[in-house]
Amino acid sequence: MDIQYYLQQLVNGICLGGMYALMSVGYSLVYSIMSFSNFAHGGVIMVGAYVGFFALTALKVPFLVAFLLCGVGSGLLAIIIERLVYSPLRQRHAPSLYFIISAMGASIFLENFVIATIDGTPRNYPTLFSNSIKIGSLSLGLDSLLMIIVSAVSLLILMFIIQKTKIGLAIRACSYNEKAGTLMGINSSLVIFVVFMMGGILAGFAGMLYGMRFIVKPTIGQVTNKSFVAAVFGGLGSLPGAIIGSVLLGIMEIFVASINSNLRDLFVYALLIIVLIIKPSGLMGKVVEDKA
Amino acid sequence: MFSWYYIEGILIQSCYTLLIVLGLSILTGYTGMFSFGHAGFVCIGAYVSVLCTMGFGLPYLLSLLIAGVVAMIFGAALGKITLNLKGDYFCIATLGVGEAIRLIFNNLNLNLNIGGKTFILDGAKGIASIPLHTTFPVALAIVVIFLTATAFLMNSKHGRSMLAVREDELAAQMSGINTFRSKMLAMCMSALYAGIAGGMLAHYFGYLQPKMFMMVKSTEYTIMVIFGGMGSITGSVLGTVLLCALPELLRAVGDWRLVFYGLAVIVIMIVRPKGLMGGKELPVGKFFRWIGRLLTGKKNDPPPDSDPPGEEVPA
């Protein structure tokens, strides 16, 4: 129990947090535009993990190709869900609670579709990176390093798109006020399309990282509830908030787990409740006033 | 396959699920607040009632009552801190609470010794060999009592206030309705129902494990309310019975039944978001009066203008 140990735990926490960040930005992006919690996101992540698994084991493609396939698969799935499930509701201006129910339905559908077509048994990814690098006396697994790098790079690219490109400007405008954005000539359908695509691609990456680190099974989607907690913790609808919230949550979770591993899930949900009671808008979320 | 034992099982399950859904209907259908943590209340009710019957040796019905009251107290406490959250945030909070309750029971190890009897609660392994007190007549009687109570509640001033809160909280507030009190009442009632149903569930299955109360369960209950139609008691009854029977009828297709279930939810949201009943009630009262007339043979009444339930197709 010395400084080495804590540093090691810190690295593990950042790894986990980075993965949560990849998942929670998808939640947050959708929430910022459409103001509903997209619970189908967990299913998208799960499918991503399976795409990666079969790409590596059945197709035997190199890691990088499998990784890109994950992104493509999940991105496509997210878009399909948006078109088939949310789009009809959107055209009818349905209240956000209907979106949530539909999302739950989609999540049940995806999870059980995988159970029915593949099966429910947990599978292990083939070991890709078993080496580790020693920095001082700190041992850093290559897979952990990869997770941190992948998360950081994809999040940086995402931030670049949001902050510097024209479509990013449109996304920001729509998240501020979708109606006004549409009046200014923004194609809000396109914005929603792009948001789901980007969220889906990152979800695919996250799914593959999760599978590499832990295990692939149809119920991964439920595990991703934690990334949703991270999004709330950081402030729903705020992208930097989601990232910071995720990394903090990852670090805290690992430290709680190092005290008592049974408490880690409980801690996450307790944190959610505390945040909602004390500051529902989270660390960086905007406060929404009830308009008459 | 369709032995009475099997059918009775489905009927008992429908009964306690209906009780939960009725409670949720008060909260969601009438007051407009979505809960994704109702399995948590069911969980509390189940454990409390089992503690009462197995630990303290109390009679079954009393244990149900205690379970309901404990769940209600918990619901009130939860309501106190979360009812002021708006829309999505409230349902996220209930999600967190529901999962937290399950995880607490997952980590709880009890080994009580009450009056010579040992009561063992072993975390994720749960409790085994619970006496099977929930029979179909008992379950049906309880549900009918609560159905009637709900119908009366909804036609009272409190029920109307809840509807007003659902339609427009601000406007309700301005018309002099204490919206917080209405929401609190809805929360307490629905937690009470869920707690009692939890006790019935525990004494039907004969064992308890925290994983019986996953978030998916909460979602299923909410889906039943939506499926039947928000703000309709008969709709909730129809929704629950249909959705309880559907997986059983689809049991032949094995793993695919939950796939269809998920698909059905999506299709309902797109095609008929109002649910089966669309906020209307089946004319149960008229139906009973019609039967009464048939039995007493009074012919001089004006002819009944309603169809028997089941054939009513609301616009």
Per the domain annotation, does A133 fall within a domain? no
| Neighboring chain A residues of B265 at a CB cutoff of 8 Å | 101-102, 104-105, 108-109
**Helix ranges restricted to H, A178-279:** 178-183, 188-213, 220-223, 225-234, 239-259, 264-278
- Could you report the per-residue pLDDT of B165-174, keeping only the tens digit for each? 888 888 988 9
Instruction: Say if residue A290's pLDDT is above 50.
Output: no
- Please answer yes or no on whether A269 and B256 come within 8 Å at the CB atom: no
Are B219 and A266 in contact (CB < 8 Å)? no
Mean pLDDT of B14-22: 92
* Phi–psi pair at B248, nearest 5 degrees: -70, -40
**In this predicted model, what pLDDT tens digit does every residue of B112-138 receive, in sequence order?**
777 667 777 777 787 877 888 888 899
Minimal C-alpha gap between A176 and chain B (Å):
18
Residue B279 pLDDT grade (very low, low, confident, very high; cuts 50, 70, 90):
low
Question: B37 with B148, same domain?
Answer: yes
Instruction: Indicate if the pLDDT at residue A191 is higher than 80.
Output: yes
pLDDT average, residue stretch B298-309: 50
Residue (of A188, A198, A280) closest to A241 by Cα position: A280
State the residue for tokens 């948590």.
B40
> H-helix or E-strand containing B113?
strand B109-114
Gyration radius (Cα) of chain A, Å: 19
Name the residue in chain A with its Cα closest to that of B264: A105
- Asked if B281 and B234 touch (Cβ cutoff 8 Å), the reply is yes
**Same domain? B185 vs B302:** no
Q: What angle do CA B259, A211, A134 make, to 5 degrees?
A: 170
Q: Is the ipTM of this complex over 0.95?
A: no
| Cβ contact B266–A222 (<8 Å) | no
What is the predicted pLDDT for the residue at B116? 67
H helix and E strand count, chain B: 12, 2
CA dist., res. B105 & res. A252, Å (int): 22
Environment class of B124 (CB within 10 Å of its CB; exposed 0-12, middle 13-18, buried 19+): middle
**Residues B58, B140: one domain?**
yes
Tell me if B283 sits within 8 A of B309, measured CB to CB.
Answer: yes
User: In angstroms, what separates the C-alpha of A98 from chain B's closest C-alpha?
Assistant: 7
My answer on whether B274 and B308 are in the same domain is no
With a pLDDT cut of 90, the percent of chain B lying above it is 24
Predicted pLDDT at B306? 47
The predicted-structure confidence for B173-196, as pLDDT tens digits, reads as follows 899 899 899 999 999 999 999 999
B86 Cβ under 8 Å from any chain A Cβ: yes
Q: Do residues B217 and B299 both lie within one domain?
A: no
Which tops the pLDDT comparison, B161 or B223? B161
Does residue B298 sit in the same domain as residue B232?
A: no
In a domain, A34, yes or no: yes
B301, B220: one domain? no
What residues have CB less than 8 Å from A189, skipping those under 6 apart? Answer: none
Cβ-Cβ contacts under 8 Å, B215 against chain A = 222, 225
Look at residue B223 in the predicted model and tell me its pLDDT: 83
Over range B1-10, report the average pLDDT.
Answer: 79
Q: What is the mean pLDDT of residues B91-119?
A: 82
Asked if residue A159 has pLDDT above 70, the reply is yes
B57 C-beta neighbours (distance < 10 Å), count: 11
Mean pLDDT of B151-164: 90
Residue type, A158: L
High-pLDDT (> 70) share of chain B, % = 91
Are the C-beta atoms of residues B169 and B179 closer than 8 Å to each other? Answer: yes
Spatial CB neighbours of A170, under 8 Å, sequence gap ≥ 6: A181, A186, A187, A190, A191
Closest residue in A to B223 (Cα) is A101
CATH number of the structural domain spanning residue A61: 1.10.3470
For residue A66, give the nearest of A157, A145, A150, A159 by alpha carbon. Answer: A150
Please tell me the total count of domains within chain A.
1
Average pLDDT of span B100-105: 89
Residue A185 pLDDT exceeds 80: yes
User: Hey, what are A125's tokens?
Assistant: 């990814």
How is residue A76 written in tokens? 């496509």
CATH assignment of the domain containing B69? 1.10.3470
Residue-wise over B196-218: b if at least 16 C-beta within 10 A, else e? bbbbbbbbbbeebbbebbbbbbb
Q: Is the pLDDT of residue A275 over 70?
A: yes
Average model confidence (pLDDT) across chain A: 86
What three-state secondary structure class fits B126? Answer: strand
Q: From chain B, pick out residues whose CB is under 8 angstroms from the CB of A288.
A: 86
Return the number of CB contacts < 8 Å for A and B: 130
Residue A286 lies in a domain: no
- Give A4-50 as a DSSP string: HHHHHHHHHHHHHHHHHHHHHHHHHHHHHHH-S--TTHHHHHHHHHH
Residue A292: per-residue pLDDT: 39
Burial state string for B227-248 with b = 16 or more CB within 10 A and e = fewer than 16: bbbbbbbbbbbbbbbbbbeeeb
Q: Which two tokens stand for residue B254?
A: 């094995």
Query: Under a CB-based contact definition with an 8 Å cutoff, are residues B74 and A19 in contact?
Result: no
CB contact under 8 A, B93 and A272: yes
What total of structural domains would you count in chain B? 2
In which band, very low, low, confident or very high, does the pLDDT at A1 lie, cut at 50, 70 and 90?
Answer: low
**What average pLDDT score do residues A265-289 get?**
80
Q: Do residue B128 and residue B228 come from a single domain?
A: yes
pLDDT tops 80 at residue B147: yes
From the list A89, A92, A269, which residue is nearest B96 (CB)?
A269
pLDDT reported for residue B272: 78
State the amino acid at position A209 in one-letter form: L
Q: Out of A65-69, B7-11, B94-98, B251-255, pick the least confident.
A: B251-255
Beta pairing class for B117-122 and B109-114: antiparallel
Question: In Å, how far is B308's CA from the nearest CA of chain A?
Answer: 31
Q: What 3-state class would DSSP assign to A82?
A: helix
Same domain, B101 and B8: yes
In a domain, A130, yes or no: no
Judged by a CB distance cut-off of 8 A, whether residue B266 touches chain A is yes
Res. B308 pLDDT band, cuts 50 70 90: very low
User: B310 and B166 share a domain?
Assistant: no
The whole-angstrom separation of Cα B112 and Cα B86 is: 41
Please give the structure tokens belonging to residue B3. Answer: 């032995």
Contact B223 A105 (CB under 8 A): yes
Closest CA to B78 of B45, B110, B18, B38: B38
Residue A26, Cβ neighbours under 10 Å: how many? 32
Alpha helices in A35-164 (DSSP H): 41-57, 63-81, 87-91, 96-117, 142-164
pLDDT 10s digits, A21-44: 999 988 888 888 888 888 899 999
Nearest to B10 by CA among B18, B217, B42, B310: B18
Q: Which of A176-190, A210-224, B15-29, B226-240 has the highest mean pLDDT?
A: B15-29
Give the predicted TM-score (pTM) of the model: 0.83
β-pairing, A138-141 vs A132-135, is antiparallel
Best probe of the B interface among A89, A101, A261, A264, by most B CBs < 10 A, is A101
CB contact under 8 A, A35 and B215: no
Contact residues, chain A, for B222 at CB < 8 Å: 101, 104
Q: Are residues B113 and B214 in the same domain?
A: yes
Selected residue of A81, A233, A276, A279 to mutate for chain B interface (largest B Cβ count, 10 A): A276
Q: What are phi and psi of B110, to 5 degrees?
A: -120, 140
Residue A287: the pLDDT is: 61
Q: What is the pLDDT of residue B146?
A: 93
In angstroms, rounded to a whole number, what is the distance separating the alpha carbons of residues A221 and A151?
19
Nearest by CB to B262, from A96, A112, A270: name it. Answer: A112
Q: Is residue A43 within 8 Å of A110, Cβ to Cβ?
A: yes
Residue A47: predicted pLDDT:
92
Q: What are the chain B neighbours of A270 within 8 Å (beta carbons)?
A: 96, 100
pLDDT tens digit sequence for B31-40: 888 888 899 9
CB contact under 8 A, A106 and B262: yes
Q: How far apart are CA A248 and CA A246, in angstroms?
A: 5
Question: Considering only CB atoms, which chain A residues are within 8 Å of B170?
Answer: 290, 292
For residue A232, give the nearest of B82, B92, B269 by CB distance: B92
CB contact under 8 A, A97 and B214: no
Alpha helices in B128-168 (DSSP H): 136-155, 157-167
Per-residue tokens: A286:
């905007």
Residues of A in contact with B226 (CB under 8 A): 101
Average pLDDT, chain B: 83
User: In terms of domains, do B301 and B246 share one?
Assistant: no
Residue A253 is part of which domain span?
3-123+138-278
Residues of B in contact with A116 (CB under 8 A): 254-256, 259
- B266/A105 touch (CB, cutoff 8 Å), yes or no: yes
Question: What pLDDT score was predicted for residue A80?
Answer: 95
- Rounded Cα distance between B167 and B31, Å, is 8
pLDDT over 50 at A291, yes or no: no
B145 touches chain A (CB under 8 A): no
Range of the domain at B303: 283-315
The pLDDT of residue B189 is: 93
Distances (CA, A) of A254 to A214, A247, B135: 14, 11, 46
- Nearest chain B Cα to A108, which residue? B262
Place of tokens 């007190």: B133
* Residue among B91, B103, B255 minimizing CB distance to A269: B103
Cβ contact (<8 Å) for B269 and A98? yes
Above 90 in pLDDT, residue B71? yes
Is the pLDDT assigned to residue B301 strictly greater than 60? no
Q: Is the pLDDT of residue A197 over 90?
A: yes
